[in-house]
């Protein structure tokens, strides 16, 4: 029995040596200490490539294409002297019901200019104008 008890402590240092070896390998992976073309270098590169190409399928980034259709007519954007932008959009691209309140008009104009300005824009004021062809259009002053 004494020989068995003496044999047991001998196996513990062996497992500690293996743990130390695994720790050393992981540390060398973290600090990228392996020579190019070695087995461990190829393992690190493979893990990085797997991360790059597999992550988008496993991780929901929440980016989706806009479900709103784009405008049918061109939108003209000009600067407002550093105070924002002036956007001219065709009236056919804005769905404003007759007798709409200012809040409804602002919401419809914001939805119409969103493909150009993004969703974090504030509509300051607006007016109806005629474009060069005589078509009815909205001129919108907006800023972020």
pTM above 0.85, yes or no: no
**pLDDT on residue 69:** 66
Nearest residue to 108 via CA among 136, 131, 89, 134:
89
With H, G, I as helix, E, B as strand and everything else as coil, classify residue 97: coil
* pLDDT tens-place values along the chain, 144 residues long: 454 544 445 445 555 545 578 888 888 888 888 888 899 899 899 999 999 999 888 887 777 766 666 667 788 888 888 888 998 998 888 888 888 899 999 999 998 888 888 778 889 999 999 888 888 998 999 988
Could you give the CA distance from residue 116 to residue 99 in angstroms, rounded to a whole number? 27
Contact call for residues 90 and 72 (beta carbons, < 8 A) = yes
Nearest residue to 105 via CA among 61, 54, 139:
139
Ordered by start, the domain boundaries in the chain are: 2-58, 76-143
Could you give the CA distance from residue 13 to residue 135 in angstroms, rounded to a whole number? 87
């Amino acid at each position: 029995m004494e020989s068995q008890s003496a044999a047991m402590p001998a196996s513990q240092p062996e497992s500690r040596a293996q743990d130390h070896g695994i720790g050393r390998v992981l540390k060398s992976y973290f600090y990228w200490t392996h020579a190019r073309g070695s087995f461990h270098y190829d393992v690190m590169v493979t893990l990085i490539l797997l991360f790059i190409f597999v992550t988008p399928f496993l991780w929901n980034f929440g980016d989706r294409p806009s479900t709103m259709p784009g405008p049918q007519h061109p939108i003209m954007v000009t600067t407002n002297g550093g105070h924002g932008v002036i956007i001219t959009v065709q009236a056919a691209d804005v769905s404003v019901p007759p007798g709409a309140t200012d809040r409804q008009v602002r919401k419809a104009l914001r939805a119409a200019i969103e493909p150009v300005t993004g969703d974090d824009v504030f509509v300051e004021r607006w007016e109806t104008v005629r474009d060069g062809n005589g078509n009815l259009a909205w001129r919108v002053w907006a800023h972020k």
